[in-house]
Amino acid sequence: MGTAGKDERARTPAGRGNALSAGDDPAAEAIIMAAVDVMARHGYHGTSVRDLAEAAGVSPGLIYHYFGSKHDLLLTILDRGMDRLVESTEEALFHAGDDPADRLCAIVGQHVLAHTRFRRESLLGNTELRSLTEQARRLIVSKRDTQQRMFDRVVRDGVVRGAFGTPHPKEAARMIVTACTAVATWFWESGPMSPDEVAAVYQRMALDTVGHRHDARSAARGTVTGR
């Protein structure tokens, strides 16, 4: 990390950017949206505060007013993205019922849909995590771990109950999350499949990955259940 980056974070109030939620202020939201766009195209280190200000139509001073530093702006983007993903996945799981296959399809569907709707935020999360300070990075990683543990529990429960036949539940859960996250790297709104269609394909592949023991009820399942 260069000297400029260290100086920038040295004047950053701890947790200031991280505490800002979406919609708190129209100007702050415009800055966040501009940062997502510009950083996704040019990278964190290839983007200056002046670039962000120009894209958002605000002064550089206003960015420092709301976020304290470019680093805390990045942290805000990644943190709220993880909060949104974890909360929506928890909600999908809550409404999924008791069947292990339904539960897996629910969280897979939600995870895929999130990574088609928020592609640029996902790409930033995967490429710019290294740009955070150690403390900020631990925060984001802990939330990623929370998301992964939901998949771990669902797959493990399915194995215990005899619905899934994989002898490697932990590895299967990790593979599913990795594959679903990677949708953000190739999905395009103008592509041949809609987000729901992609989610349905990944749900079926997830069931295959865990060795789902198909029955008449699950064979009839063909819609996205993780919405």
What's the mean pLDDT in 18-24? Answer: 47
Cα separation, 79 vs 198, in Å, equals 25
List the one residue out of 36, 5, 61, 40 whose CA is nearest residue 127: 40
Q: How far is CA 62 from the centre of its chain?
A: 27
Eight-state DSSP code of residue 69: S
- pLDDT digits 0-9 by tens, 175-209: 999 999 999 999 998 889 999 999 999 999 999 99
Q: How confident is the model at residue 213 (pLDDT cuts 50, 70, 90)?
A: confident
Q: What are phi and psi of 117, to 5 degrees?
A: -80, -30
Give the contacts of 164 (CB within 8 A, at least 6 positions apart): 100, 155, 158, 172, 210, 211, 212, 213
Give the contacts of 116 (CB within 8 A, at least 6 positions apart): 183, 184, 187, 195, 198, 199
Tell me which CATH code domain 9-72 carries. Answer: 1.10.10.60
What's the mean pLDDT in 41-51? Answer: 95
Q: What is the pTM of this model?
A: 0.82
What's the mean pLDDT in 156-181? Answer: 97
Cα separation, 99 vs 116, in Å, equals 26
Rg (CA), the chain: 20
> Which CATH fold would you assign to the domain 77-219?
Tetracycline Repressor; domain 2 (1.10.357)
The pLDDT of residue 176 is 98
Using DSSP's 3-state secondary structure scheme, residue 10 falls into helix
Asked if 67 and 9 touch (Cβ cutoff 8 Å), the reply is no
- pLDDT digits 0-9 by tens, 87-106: 999 999 999 999 999 999 99
The pLDDT of residue 23 is 52
Cα separation, 150 vs 3, in Å, equals 39
In this structure, the dihedral spanned by the alpha carbons of residues 190, 191, 196 and 198, taken in order and rounded to 10 degrees, is: -160
Cα separation, 25 vs 48, in Å, equals 22
Asked if 31 and 49 touch (Cβ cutoff 8 Å), the reply is no
Within 13 Å and on the Cβ side, how many CA atoms surround 45? Answer: 12
Where exactly are the structural domains of the chain? 9-72, 77-219
Percent of the chain at pLDDT above 70? 84
